Amino acid sequence: ATLVTCGGLALAGLVTRLDAEARGAAHRLLIEERASQAARAESAALAERARIAREIHDVLAHSLSAQLVHLEAARIQIEQGADRRQVLERV
């Protein structure tokens, strides 16, 4: 009976240890998964910020280019004798 009791206790101890190890591994996996999700979310946010920055850059570059074309056209018109005030009012 003592041998059976000792064997039962040893088996219970083994099961308890294996259960604790499994829970620890599951907890570590959960922590790693949460960290991975956070990293993916951060990466997506950075990509969106970069996309918005590129879009703003493109819009500003286009606006400035158009403004330069208008100003250059106004300068040429004024040099060719057009009324300065009228030309500048259109720009």
- Report the domain count for the chain: 1
Q: Residue type for 44, please? A: A
What region, left, alpha or beta, does residue 82 occupy, with left being phi > 0 and alpha being psi -120 to 50 degrees?
beta
CA 71/CA 77 separation, integer angstroms: 10
pTM: 0.59
Above 90 in pLDDT, residue 1? no
Range of the domain at 50: 2-90
Cα torsion 70, 72, 76, 78: sign: positive
pLDDT category at 79 given cuts 50, 70, 90 is very high
Spatial contact of 63 and 71, defined as CB atoms under 8 Å apart: no
pLDDT above 90 coverage of the chain, percent? 95
34-47 pLDDT tens trace: 999 999 999 999 99
**88 touches 74 (CB < 8 A):** yes
